[in-house]
Amino acid sequence: MYRFAMAACCFAGTYEVWHLRHYSSLVYFTFQTTLLLGVVMLWTGAATLLKGIQPPAWLKGCLTLYSVIAGLVALFVLPAADPAITPRVFGLLTVTWAHRVVPVGALLDWLLFDPHRRFKWPYALWWMAYLPVYVAGVLIRAAIWPHSGPLADGTPYPYDFLNLPVLGWTRLGINIVEYGGVFLALGLILIIIDRALPQKVLVAS
């Protein structure tokens, strides 16, 4: 049942996209990864109940990593959300679901309910692959639709550290390298923890 509860948290955090139809919000890394995590949690929960095929370890680890990164970026980099314009679901701001509840829940799910010693060292590099794809998508979208952002000013850049007109190519490149280093380091930490934990699940689901 935990996985279904986690899926509900993921969909609460992405309420603006699937219910309010603010599809421009999909430009945010958090919304993309949280929606995918919600689907994978439904898959995991259904597979557990029906004794079916579980999501592959690399996919579950990837989305756990991305969720944790989204939470850390929100905590240390992003400005606080404006409660006057941010929707609430069950009394909590959607960003609270996506940036606080889901990352913590995803990490606990992986630690407690997943079998371990399944991550391979190359996964750390595989998990980085989406970063350049995401950045390229943001830049191409901004070039084609320069006023398509979800905020009131219409900026197509979801994060200040990707704002090409303000930063310039040099600073943007440095930011990408720095964030790529963080992706790699956190991915390696996840693999080290996975290899240190007992192979069997810590808590039976």
How many other β-carbons are positioned within 10 Å of the β-carbon of residue 46?
14
Return the SS3 of 19. coil
Positive or negative CA dihedral for 166, 171, 177, 179?
Answer: negative
Taking only the tens place, the pLDDT of each residue in 160-182 is 999 999 999 999 999 999 999 99
Distance CA 7, CA 45 (A): 9
> 191 φ, ψ to 5°?
-65, -40
Taking only the tens place, the pLDDT of each residue in 15-46 is 988 888 888 889 999 999 999 999 999 999 99
pLDDT band at 205 (very low <50, low <70, confident <90, very high): low
| Partner residues linked to 89 by β-bridges | 92
Q: What is the pTM of this model?
A: 0.92
Distance CA 130, CA 44 (A): 22
Residue 101, pLDDT > 90, answer yes
Taking only the tens place, the pLDDT of each residue in 102-160 is 999 999 999 999 999 999 999 999 999 999 999 999 999 999 999 888 887 889 999 99
Q: Give the helix/strand (H/E) hosting 89.
A: strand 88-89
